[in-house]
Chain A
Amino acid sequence: MQNPGIEKFIQKDLPFLETLNTNVILSIGGDTKSDYLNLIEKLNNSNAALFELNLSCPNVGKSGIPLGIDEIAIFDLVKETKKISKKPIFVKFGVETFLEDLVSAAVKGGADGVTLINSPKGMKIDIEKKTVILKRGFGGYSGPAIKPIALATIFRIRRKFKDLPIIGMGGVFDYTDAIEFIMAGANLVGIGAGVMADPEMPIKIINDLNKYFKKEKYEDILSCAVEGYYV
Protein backbone atom coordinates (compact mmCIF):
# COMPACT_ATOMS: atom_id res chain seq x y z
CA MET A 1 0.00 0.00 0.00
CA GLN A 2 1.19 3.50 -0.74
CA ASN A 3 3.17 5.01 2.14
CA PRO A 4 5.76 7.73 2.71
CA GLY A 5 8.67 5.36 2.05
CA ILE A 6 11.28 3.58 4.11
CA GLU A 7 13.30 6.54 5.41
CA LYS A 8 10.27 8.26 6.89
CA PHE A 9 9.00 4.94 8.22
CA ILE A 10 12.25 4.27 10.06
CA GLN A 11 12.30 7.78 11.42
CA LYS A 12 8.67 8.21 12.36
CA ASP A 13 6.77 4.94 12.72
CA LEU A 14 9.29 2.27 13.60
CA PRO A 15 10.34 3.79 16.95
CA PHE A 16 6.71 3.83 18.01
CA LEU A 17 6.10 0.25 16.83
CA GLU A 18 9.14 -0.89 18.77
CA THR A 19 7.67 0.37 22.03
CA LEU A 20 4.69 -1.98 21.68
CA ASN A 21 4.59 -5.12 23.73
CA THR A 22 3.57 -7.37 20.86
CA ASN A 23 4.95 -9.08 17.77
CA VAL A 24 5.34 -6.63 14.93
CA ILE A 25 5.26 -7.88 11.34
CA LEU A 26 6.85 -5.66 8.73
CA SER A 27 5.19 -6.07 5.36
CA ILE A 28 7.38 -4.90 2.52
CA GLY A 29 6.79 -4.41 -1.17
CA GLY A 30 8.89 -3.29 -4.09
CA ASP A 31 9.27 -3.31 -7.84
CA THR A 32 12.43 -5.36 -8.09
CA LYS A 33 14.39 -7.95 -6.13
CA SER A 34 16.91 -5.33 -5.12
CA ASP A 35 14.08 -3.22 -3.64
CA TYR A 36 13.19 -6.10 -1.33
CA LEU A 37 16.79 -6.81 -0.40
CA ASN A 38 17.42 -3.16 0.27
CA LEU A 39 14.37 -2.89 2.55
CA ILE A 40 15.35 -6.00 4.50
CA GLU A 41 18.84 -4.69 5.03
CA LYS A 42 17.48 -1.43 6.38
CA LEU A 43 14.99 -3.16 8.70
CA ASN A 44 17.07 -6.16 9.73
CA ASN A 45 18.10 -4.64 13.04
CA SER A 46 14.62 -3.57 14.11
CA ASN A 47 12.96 -5.70 16.74
CA ALA A 48 10.18 -6.83 14.38
CA ALA A 49 9.22 -10.51 14.62
CA LEU A 50 9.13 -11.26 10.93
CA PHE A 51 9.11 -9.90 7.40
CA GLU A 52 6.26 -10.36 5.01
CA LEU A 53 7.02 -10.05 1.30
CA ASN A 54 4.03 -8.54 -0.41
CA LEU A 55 4.08 -9.68 -4.01
CA SER A 56 0.99 -7.87 -5.15
CA CYS A 57 2.94 -5.36 -7.20
CA PRO A 58 1.63 -5.52 -10.76
CA ASN A 59 4.97 -4.58 -12.27
CA VAL A 60 6.43 -7.01 -14.72
CA GLY A 61 9.96 -8.35 -14.33
CA LYS A 62 12.44 -9.72 -16.87
CA SER A 63 10.34 -12.78 -17.56
CA GLY A 64 7.41 -10.67 -18.69
CA ILE A 65 5.24 -12.15 -15.92
CA PRO A 66 4.17 -10.16 -12.85
CA LEU A 67 6.32 -11.14 -9.88
CA GLY A 68 3.42 -12.48 -7.83
CA ILE A 69 2.61 -15.25 -10.31
CA ASP A 70 6.11 -16.08 -11.55
CA GLU A 71 7.25 -19.31 -9.84
CA ILE A 72 10.91 -18.91 -10.73
CA ALA A 73 11.03 -15.27 -9.65
CA ILE A 74 9.28 -16.09 -6.36
CA PHE A 75 11.72 -18.93 -5.64
CA ASP A 76 14.64 -16.66 -6.40
CA LEU A 77 13.32 -13.72 -4.40
CA VAL A 78 12.64 -15.81 -1.31
CA LYS A 79 16.01 -17.56 -1.55
CA GLU A 80 17.89 -14.28 -1.81
CA THR A 81 15.97 -12.54 0.95
CA LYS A 82 16.42 -15.55 3.22
CA LYS A 83 20.17 -15.30 2.76
CA ILE A 84 20.35 -11.86 4.30
CA SER A 85 17.30 -11.73 6.55
CA LYS A 86 17.77 -12.05 10.29
CA LYS A 87 14.07 -12.76 10.66
CA PRO A 88 11.62 -15.35 9.34
CA ILE A 89 10.14 -14.58 5.92
CA PHE A 90 6.47 -14.93 5.05
CA VAL A 91 5.14 -14.41 1.54
CA LYS A 92 1.77 -12.79 0.96
CA PHE A 93 -0.27 -14.06 -1.96
CA GLY A 94 -3.47 -13.08 -3.68
CA VAL A 95 -6.01 -15.41 -5.19
CA GLU A 96 -4.21 -17.06 -8.09
CA THR A 97 -5.20 -19.96 -10.28
CA PHE A 98 -2.10 -22.05 -9.64
CA LEU A 99 -1.55 -20.83 -6.11
CA GLU A 100 -0.35 -24.23 -4.89
CA ASP A 101 2.56 -24.04 -7.33
CA LEU A 102 3.43 -20.50 -6.29
CA VAL A 103 3.38 -21.40 -2.59
CA SER A 104 5.50 -24.42 -3.41
CA ALA A 105 8.06 -22.19 -5.08
CA ALA A 106 8.13 -19.92 -2.00
CA VAL A 107 8.54 -22.89 0.34
CA LYS A 108 11.35 -24.34 -1.78
CA GLY A 109 13.03 -20.94 -1.66
CA GLY A 110 12.91 -21.18 2.14
CA ALA A 111 9.76 -19.24 3.08
CA ASP A 112 8.83 -19.74 6.72
CA GLY A 113 5.13 -19.23 6.04
CA VAL A 114 2.54 -17.53 3.87
CA THR A 115 -0.07 -14.82 4.32
CA LEU A 116 -3.39 -15.37 2.56
CA ILE A 117 -5.03 -13.43 0.98
CA ASN A 118 -4.06 -10.17 -0.59
CA SER A 119 -7.17 -8.25 -1.62
CA PRO A 120 -8.36 -8.98 -5.14
CA LYS A 121 -9.03 -6.06 -7.46
CA GLY A 122 -12.45 -4.55 -7.59
CA MET A 123 -14.13 -1.55 -9.11
CA LYS A 124 -17.28 0.52 -8.96
CA ILE A 125 -18.78 2.59 -11.73
CA ASP A 126 -21.12 5.51 -11.22
CA ILE A 127 -23.59 5.02 -14.06
CA GLU A 128 -25.15 8.44 -13.59
CA LYS A 129 -21.87 10.35 -13.77
CA LYS A 130 -20.61 7.75 -16.26
CA THR A 131 -17.29 7.52 -14.50
CA VAL A 132 -15.27 5.19 -12.33
CA ILE A 133 -15.31 5.87 -8.60
CA LEU A 134 -11.64 5.24 -7.88
CA LYS A 135 -8.92 7.43 -9.35
CA ARG A 136 -7.05 4.50 -10.85
CA GLY A 137 -10.23 2.78 -12.00
CA PHE A 138 -9.89 -0.14 -9.64
CA GLY A 139 -8.40 -0.89 -6.27
CA GLY A 140 -8.11 -3.53 -3.57
CA TYR A 141 -11.50 -5.03 -2.79
CA SER A 142 -11.70 -6.04 0.83
CA GLY A 143 -14.01 -6.61 3.77
CA PRO A 144 -16.66 -9.25 4.45
CA ALA A 145 -17.38 -9.77 0.75
CA ILE A 146 -14.04 -11.52 0.26
CA LYS A 147 -14.21 -13.74 3.34
CA PRO A 148 -15.48 -16.87 1.55
CA ILE A 149 -12.72 -16.47 -1.03
CA ALA A 150 -10.08 -16.07 1.68
CA LEU A 151 -11.36 -19.11 3.58
CA ALA A 152 -11.38 -21.28 0.49
CA THR A 153 -7.87 -20.17 -0.42
CA ILE A 154 -6.50 -20.91 3.04
CA PHE A 155 -8.28 -24.27 3.05
CA ARG A 156 -6.81 -25.12 -0.34
CA ILE A 157 -3.26 -24.34 0.76
CA ARG A 158 -3.63 -26.01 4.15
CA ARG A 159 -4.77 -29.19 2.44
CA LYS A 160 -1.56 -29.34 0.45
CA PHE A 161 0.89 -27.94 3.04
CA LYS A 162 0.03 -29.57 6.35
CA ASP A 163 2.67 -27.89 8.47
CA LEU A 164 3.16 -24.56 6.74
CA PRO A 165 2.45 -21.57 9.02
CA ILE A 166 -0.39 -19.53 7.52
CA ILE A 167 -1.53 -16.04 8.45
CA GLY A 168 -5.14 -15.89 7.30
CA MET A 169 -6.94 -12.65 6.50
CA GLY A 170 -9.70 -11.25 4.33
CA GLY A 171 -12.93 -9.91 5.78
CA VAL A 172 -12.47 -10.70 9.46
CA PHE A 173 -14.98 -8.47 11.26
CA ASP A 174 -15.80 -10.43 14.41
CA TYR A 175 -14.66 -13.38 16.52
CA THR A 176 -16.77 -15.90 14.62
CA ASP A 177 -14.90 -14.93 11.45
CA ALA A 178 -11.61 -15.45 13.27
CA ILE A 179 -12.72 -18.93 14.35
CA GLU A 180 -13.66 -19.78 10.78
CA PHE A 181 -10.19 -18.74 9.64
CA ILE A 182 -8.58 -20.96 12.29
CA MET A 183 -10.85 -23.81 11.26
CA ALA A 184 -9.95 -23.33 7.61
CA GLY A 185 -6.30 -23.71 8.54
CA ALA A 186 -4.86 -20.37 9.60
CA ASN A 187 -2.36 -20.28 12.48
CA LEU A 188 -2.62 -16.54 12.91
CA VAL A 189 -5.54 -14.34 11.92
CA GLY A 190 -5.11 -10.85 10.49
CA ILE A 191 -7.52 -7.94 10.27
CA GLY A 192 -7.28 -5.35 7.52
CA ALA A 193 -10.47 -3.62 6.42
CA GLY A 194 -11.97 -4.33 9.85
CA VAL A 195 -9.48 -1.99 11.49
CA MET A 196 -10.40 0.64 8.95
CA ALA A 197 -14.08 0.25 9.76
CA ASP A 198 -13.37 0.32 13.49
CA PRO A 199 -9.83 0.74 14.85
CA GLU A 200 -10.90 -0.86 18.12
CA MET A 201 -12.20 -4.01 16.42
CA PRO A 202 -9.15 -6.19 17.21
CA ILE A 203 -9.59 -5.57 20.94
CA LYS A 204 -13.22 -6.62 20.77
CA ILE A 205 -12.37 -9.73 18.77
CA ILE A 206 -9.66 -10.76 21.26
CA ASN A 207 -12.03 -10.29 24.19
CA ASP A 208 -14.77 -12.26 22.46
CA LEU A 209 -12.33 -15.03 21.55
CA ASN A 210 -11.18 -15.25 25.15
CA LYS A 211 -14.80 -15.73 26.19
CA TYR A 212 -15.31 -18.30 23.46
CA PHE A 213 -12.26 -20.30 24.51
CA LYS A 214 -13.52 -20.44 28.09
CA LYS A 215 -16.16 -22.80 26.75
CA GLU A 216 -14.39 -24.36 23.79
CA LYS A 217 -10.98 -25.99 23.52
CA TYR A 218 -8.54 -24.59 20.94
CA GLU A 219 -7.54 -28.16 20.05
CA ASP A 220 -11.14 -28.93 19.21
CA ILE A 221 -11.52 -26.28 16.57
CA LEU A 222 -8.14 -27.28 15.16
CA SER A 223 -9.05 -30.91 14.90
CA CYS A 224 -12.28 -29.93 13.24
CA ALA A 225 -10.18 -28.16 10.62
CA VAL A 226 -7.79 -31.08 10.29
CA GLU A 227 -10.65 -33.43 9.64
CA GLY A 228 -11.93 -30.98 7.11
CA TYR A 229 -8.71 -31.13 5.12
CA TYR A 230 -9.37 -34.62 4.01
CA VAL A 231 -13.08 -34.70 3.33
Chain B
Amino acid sequence: MVNTIVQDIKTTENYILLTIKTEKEINIEPGQFVMLKLKQFDFGKPFSVIYQEGKIIKFLIAVVGKMTKEMKNLKIGDSLELRGPYGIPFIEKLHKNKKYVLLGGDCGSAPLIHFSEKYPELVREQIYGFVIPEIKKILNIKHLHIDIEEGINPLQKAENLNISNDDGFLVCGSLNFIKYTQKKFMDYKIFASLEARMGCGIGMCKGCPIKTNDGIKMICKDGPIFDLSEVDLEW
Protein backbone atom coordinates (compact mmCIF):
# COMPACT_ATOMS: atom_id res chain seq x y z
CA MET B 1 0.00 0.00 0.00
CA VAL B 2 1.46 3.33 -1.04
CA ASN B 3 0.18 6.59 0.31
CA THR B 4 -0.58 9.26 -2.27
CA ILE B 5 -1.55 12.91 -2.15
CA VAL B 6 -3.99 14.65 -4.48
CA GLN B 7 -2.07 17.20 -6.56
CA ASP B 8 -4.88 18.36 -8.77
CA ILE B 9 -8.49 17.50 -9.45
CA LYS B 10 -10.75 18.65 -12.27
CA THR B 11 -14.36 17.57 -12.36
CA THR B 12 -17.43 17.80 -14.56
CA GLU B 13 -20.77 16.25 -13.79
CA ASN B 14 -19.75 12.80 -14.97
CA TYR B 15 -15.95 12.83 -15.10
CA ILE B 16 -12.92 13.37 -12.92
CA LEU B 17 -9.36 14.06 -14.03
CA LEU B 18 -7.34 13.26 -10.96
CA THR B 19 -3.63 13.85 -10.47
CA ILE B 20 -1.90 12.25 -7.51
CA LYS B 21 1.65 12.05 -6.25
CA THR B 22 2.89 8.79 -4.76
CA GLU B 23 5.20 8.56 -1.76
CA LYS B 24 7.64 6.45 -3.69
CA GLU B 25 8.18 6.05 -7.38
CA ILE B 26 6.33 3.25 -9.13
CA ASN B 27 6.36 2.25 -12.77
CA ILE B 28 3.02 1.53 -14.38
CA GLU B 29 3.02 0.03 -17.86
CA PRO B 30 0.11 1.03 -20.14
CA GLY B 31 -2.72 -1.45 -19.67
CA GLN B 32 -1.91 -2.18 -16.05
CA PHE B 33 -4.18 -0.87 -13.32
CA VAL B 34 -3.89 0.14 -9.68
CA MET B 35 -6.32 -0.24 -6.80
CA LEU B 36 -7.29 3.11 -5.29
CA LYS B 37 -8.97 3.31 -1.92
CA LEU B 38 -10.51 6.15 0.01
CA LYS B 39 -10.01 6.03 3.77
CA GLN B 40 -13.71 5.62 4.49
CA PHE B 41 -14.01 2.51 2.27
CA ASP B 42 -12.93 -1.02 3.19
CA PHE B 43 -12.09 -2.06 -0.36
CA GLY B 44 -10.38 -0.26 -3.18
CA LYS B 45 -11.43 -0.22 -6.81
CA PRO B 46 -9.39 -0.72 -9.97
CA PHE B 47 -8.40 2.26 -12.12
CA SER B 48 -6.26 2.36 -15.19
CA VAL B 49 -3.88 5.17 -15.69
CA ILE B 50 -3.92 7.87 -18.36
CA TYR B 51 -0.49 9.27 -17.56
CA GLN B 52 2.40 8.38 -15.31
CA GLU B 53 5.82 9.87 -14.86
CA GLY B 54 7.89 9.26 -11.76
CA LYS B 55 5.71 9.89 -8.74
CA ILE B 56 2.94 11.62 -10.67
CA ILE B 57 -0.05 9.60 -11.87
CA LYS B 58 -3.18 10.82 -13.64
CA PHE B 59 -6.52 9.07 -13.86
CA LEU B 60 -9.55 9.75 -16.03
CA ILE B 61 -12.52 8.55 -14.04
CA ALA B 62 -16.19 8.16 -14.91
CA VAL B 63 -18.44 8.96 -11.97
CA VAL B 64 -20.55 5.82 -11.78
CA GLY B 65 -20.68 4.43 -8.27
CA LYS B 66 -20.43 5.26 -4.59
CA MET B 67 -16.68 5.54 -4.48
CA THR B 68 -16.29 7.63 -7.62
CA LYS B 69 -19.03 9.96 -6.36
CA GLU B 70 -17.00 10.42 -3.18
CA MET B 71 -13.85 10.93 -5.24
CA LYS B 72 -15.45 13.97 -6.82
CA ASN B 73 -15.16 15.66 -3.43
CA LEU B 74 -11.41 15.10 -3.09
CA LYS B 75 -9.39 18.25 -2.51
CA ILE B 76 -5.77 19.04 -3.25
CA GLY B 77 -3.72 17.68 -0.36
CA ASP B 78 -6.14 14.85 0.49
CA SER B 79 -4.66 11.40 0.70
CA LEU B 80 -5.60 8.22 -1.13
CA GLU B 81 -4.25 4.71 -0.75
CA LEU B 82 -2.84 2.98 -3.80
CA ARG B 83 -1.62 -0.52 -4.41
CA GLY B 84 -0.34 -2.08 -7.56
CA PRO B 85 0.37 -1.88 -10.40
CA TYR B 86 -1.41 -5.11 -11.27
CA GLY B 87 -2.25 -6.98 -14.44
CA ILE B 88 -0.37 -7.75 -17.60
CA PRO B 89 0.31 -4.68 -19.78
CA PHE B 90 -0.46 -4.30 -23.50
CA ILE B 91 3.17 -4.59 -24.46
CA GLU B 92 3.50 -8.10 -23.06
CA LYS B 93 0.50 -9.40 -24.96
CA LEU B 94 0.54 -7.69 -28.33
CA HIS B 95 2.62 -8.55 -31.38
CA LYS B 96 5.35 -5.98 -31.68
CA ASN B 97 5.62 -6.33 -35.46
CA LYS B 98 2.17 -4.81 -35.97
CA LYS B 99 0.82 -1.30 -35.76
CA TYR B 100 -2.38 -0.71 -33.87
CA VAL B 101 -5.52 1.32 -34.14
CA LEU B 102 -6.36 2.53 -30.64
CA LEU B 103 -10.12 2.60 -30.06
CA GLY B 104 -11.30 4.03 -26.75
CA GLY B 105 -14.87 4.17 -25.55
CA ASP B 106 -15.43 6.81 -22.89
CA CYS B 107 -12.98 6.54 -19.95
CA GLY B 108 -11.76 3.30 -21.47
CA SER B 109 -9.65 5.66 -23.54
CA ALA B 110 -7.30 6.23 -20.60
CA PRO B 111 -4.97 3.22 -20.93
CA LEU B 112 -4.83 3.73 -24.70
CA ILE B 113 -3.81 7.35 -24.34
CA HIS B 114 -1.14 6.16 -21.90
CA PHE B 115 -0.05 3.57 -24.47
CA SER B 116 0.12 6.10 -27.31
CA GLU B 117 2.51 8.27 -25.32
CA LYS B 118 4.82 5.46 -24.36
CA TYR B 119 4.79 3.47 -27.61
CA PRO B 120 4.04 5.94 -30.45
CA GLU B 121 5.92 3.71 -32.89
CA LEU B 122 3.26 1.01 -32.47
CA VAL B 123 0.32 3.32 -33.13
CA ARG B 124 -1.41 3.53 -36.52
CA GLU B 125 -4.49 5.60 -35.63
CA GLN B 126 -6.31 6.78 -32.52
CA ILE B 127 -9.94 7.47 -31.74
CA TYR B 128 -11.12 8.34 -28.25
CA GLY B 129 -14.88 8.36 -28.33
CA PHE B 130 -17.18 10.16 -25.93
CA VAL B 131 -20.88 10.69 -26.44
CA ILE B 132 -21.19 14.30 -25.34
CA PRO B 133 -18.71 17.23 -25.35
CA GLU B 134 -18.60 17.52 -21.54
CA ILE B 135 -15.23 15.74 -21.45
CA LYS B 136 -13.57 18.61 -23.31
CA LYS B 137 -13.83 20.76 -20.19
CA ILE B 138 -11.16 18.66 -18.49
CA LEU B 139 -9.42 16.70 -21.23
CA ASN B 140 -7.63 18.53 -23.96
CA ILE B 141 -6.05 15.99 -26.28
CA LYS B 142 -5.89 15.18 -29.96
CA HIS B 143 -8.09 12.44 -31.45
CA LEU B 144 -11.08 13.15 -29.23
CA HIS B 145 -14.26 12.05 -30.96
CA ILE B 146 -17.59 13.37 -29.76
CA ASP B 147 -20.52 11.36 -31.11
CA ILE B 148 -23.12 14.10 -31.09
CA GLU B 149 -20.75 16.54 -32.79
CA GLU B 150 -19.71 14.16 -35.55
CA GLY B 151 -23.03 12.39 -35.99
CA ILE B 152 -21.37 8.98 -36.06
CA ASN B 153 -19.91 6.74 -33.40
CA PRO B 154 -16.17 6.00 -33.09
CA LEU B 155 -16.53 2.58 -34.68
CA GLN B 156 -18.19 3.99 -37.77
CA LYS B 157 -15.34 6.46 -37.93
CA ALA B 158 -12.79 3.66 -37.61
CA GLU B 159 -14.24 1.98 -40.67
CA ASN B 160 -13.17 4.88 -42.81
CA LEU B 161 -9.59 4.91 -41.57
CA ASN B 162 -6.79 4.02 -43.86
CA ILE B 163 -5.61 0.80 -42.26
CA SER B 164 -3.79 -2.19 -43.65
CA ASN B 165 -4.83 -5.80 -43.23
CA ASP B 166 -1.79 -6.34 -41.09
CA ASP B 167 -2.76 -3.74 -38.52
CA GLY B 168 -4.32 -4.70 -35.23
CA PHE B 169 -6.67 -3.04 -32.77
CA LEU B 170 -6.30 -2.14 -29.13
CA VAL B 171 -9.70 -1.48 -27.66
CA CYS B 172 -10.97 -0.46 -24.27
CA GLY B 173 -14.45 0.60 -23.24
CA SER B 174 -17.77 -0.92 -22.23
CA LEU B 175 -18.40 -4.58 -22.97
CA ASN B 176 -20.80 -3.61 -25.74
CA PHE B 177 -18.21 -1.34 -27.30
CA ILE B 178 -15.70 -4.19 -27.30
CA LYS B 179 -18.21 -6.69 -28.69
CA TYR B 180 -19.18 -4.25 -31.42
CA THR B 181 -15.53 -3.74 -32.33
CA GLN B 182 -15.04 -7.47 -32.51
CA LYS B 183 -18.02 -7.84 -34.84
CA LYS B 184 -17.00 -5.01 -37.11
CA PHE B 185 -13.31 -5.85 -37.39
CA MET B 186 -13.52 -9.62 -37.33
CA ASP B 187 -10.57 -10.09 -39.67
CA TYR B 188 -8.12 -8.15 -37.53
CA LYS B 189 -6.11 -9.04 -34.46
CA ILE B 190 -7.80 -7.31 -31.54
CA PHE B 191 -6.49 -6.94 -28.02
CA ALA B 192 -8.97 -5.60 -25.49
CA SER B 193 -8.58 -4.30 -22.00
CA LEU B 194 -11.50 -5.86 -20.14
CA GLU B 195 -13.24 -4.29 -17.20
CA ALA B 196 -14.57 -6.13 -14.19
CA ARG B 197 -15.87 -5.51 -10.73
CA MET B 198 -12.86 -6.35 -8.66
CA GLY B 199 -12.51 -7.21 -5.02
CA CYS B 200 -8.82 -7.91 -4.59
CA GLY B 201 -7.12 -7.18 -7.92
CA ILE B 202 -4.61 -9.98 -7.34
CA GLY B 203 -6.40 -13.21 -8.23
CA MET B 204 -7.50 -14.15 -4.71
CA CYS B 205 -11.21 -13.47 -4.44
CA LYS B 206 -12.22 -15.10 -7.75
CA GLY B 207 -14.59 -12.24 -8.34
CA CYS B 208 -13.58 -11.33 -11.90
CA PRO B 209 -13.77 -14.53 -13.97
CA ILE B 210 -13.70 -14.74 -17.76
CA LYS B 211 -14.01 -17.80 -19.94
CA THR B 212 -11.03 -18.36 -22.23
CA ASN B 213 -9.91 -21.11 -24.59
CA ASP B 214 -7.65 -22.20 -21.77
CA GLY B 215 -10.37 -22.40 -19.08
CA ILE B 216 -11.61 -19.81 -16.60
CA LYS B 217 -9.14 -16.99 -15.98
CA MET B 218 -9.21 -13.94 -13.72
CA ILE B 219 -9.36 -10.59 -15.46
CA CYS B 220 -7.25 -8.93 -12.76
CA LYS B 221 -4.40 -11.41 -12.83
CA ASP B 222 -4.39 -13.01 -16.27
CA GLY B 223 -5.61 -9.81 -17.96
CA PRO B 224 -6.90 -7.19 -18.08
CA ILE B 225 -5.50 -7.35 -21.64
CA PHE B 226 -6.77 -10.29 -23.66
CA ASP B 227 -6.52 -11.36 -27.27
CA LEU B 228 -10.22 -11.34 -28.21
CA SER B 229 -9.88 -14.57 -30.17
CA GLU B 230 -9.11 -16.29 -26.87
CA VAL B 231 -12.03 -15.15 -24.75
CA ASP B 232 -15.77 -15.75 -24.74
CA LEU B 233 -17.41 -12.38 -24.21
CA GLU B 234 -20.89 -13.93 -24.21
CA TRP B 235 -20.17 -16.16 -21.21
Q: Which partner residue on chain A sits nearest B211 by CB separation?
A: A135
Q: Are B83 and A143 in contact (CB under 8 A)?
A: no
Let me know if A11 is at the binding interface, CB within 8 A.
no
Q: Are B207 and A139 in contact (CB under 8 A)?
A: yes
Interface flags for B184-225 (1: CB within 8 Å of A; 0: not) read: 000000000000010110101111010000001000000000
Note all chain B residues with C-beta closer than 8 A to A196: 43, 199-200, 202, 204-205
The CA-CA distance from A189 to B53 in the complex, in Å, is: 41
Q: Which partner residue on chain A sits nearest B200 by CB separation?
A: A196
Note all chain B residues with C-beta closer than 8 A to A198: 1, 37, 81, 83
Let me know if B154 is at the binding interface, CB within 8 A.
no
Let me know if B104 is at the binding interface, CB within 8 A.
no
Q: Are B43 and A197 in contact (CB under 8 A)?
A: yes
Q: Are A2 and B216 in contact (CB under 8 A)?
A: yes
Note all chain B residues with C-beta closer than 8 A to A195: 204
Let me know if A75 is at the binding interface, CB within 8 A.
no
| Residue of A2, A133, A173, A199 touching B83 (CB-CB under 8 A) | A199
A199-B202 contact, Cβ under 8 Å, with A2-B216, A143-B43, A173-B42: yes
Interface flags for B156-182 (1: CB within 8 Å of A; 0: not) read: 000000000000000000000000000
A197-B202 contact, Cβ under 8 Å, with A133-B197, A135-B209, A139-B207: no
Interface flags for B24-44 (1: CB within 8 Å of A; 0: not) read: 000000000000010000111
Q: Which partner residue on chain B sits nearest A196 by CB separation?
A: B200
Note all chain A residues with C-beta closer than 8 A to B204: 195-196
Let me know if A202 is at the binding interface, CB within 8 A.
no
Note all chain A residues with C-beta closer than 8 A to B43: 143, 196-197
Q: Are B209 and A197 in contact (CB under 8 A)?
A: no
The CA-CA distance from A53 to B118 in the complex, in Å, is: 49
A197-B197 contact, Cβ under 8 Å, with A1-B206, A2-B216: no
Interface flags for A184-207 (1: CB within 8 Å of B; 0: not) read: 000000000101111110000000
Q: Are A143 and B207 in contact (CB under 8 A)?
A: no
Note all chain B residues with C-beta closer than 8 A to A133: 197
Q: Are B200 and A143 in contact (CB under 8 A)?
A: no
Q: Give me the 5 closest cross-chain CB pairs, A-B, nearest first.
A: A196-B200, A197-B43, A196-B204, A196-B205, A2-B206
27 A-B pairs (CB sep. < 8 Å): A1-B206, A2-B206, A2-B216, A133-B197, A135-B209, A135-B235, A139-B206, A139-B207, A143-B42, A143-B43, A173-B42, A193-B199, A195-B204, A196-B43, A196-B199, A196-B200, A196-B202, A196-B205, A197-B37, A197-B42, A197-B43, A197-B44, A197-B200, A198-B1, A198-B37, A199-B83, A200-B1
B→A interface (CB under 8 Å): 1, 37, 42-44, 81, 83, 197, 199-200, 202, 204-207, 209, 216, 235
A→B interface (CB under 8 Å): 1-2, 133-135, 139, 143-144, 173, 193, 195-200
In addition to A139-B207, A197-B44, A200-B1, 13 A-B residue pairs with Cβ atoms within 8 Å of each other are A1-B206, A133-B197, A134-B207, A143-B43, A173-B42, A195-B204, A196-B199, A196-B202, A197-B200, A198-B37, A198-B81, A199-B83, A199-B202
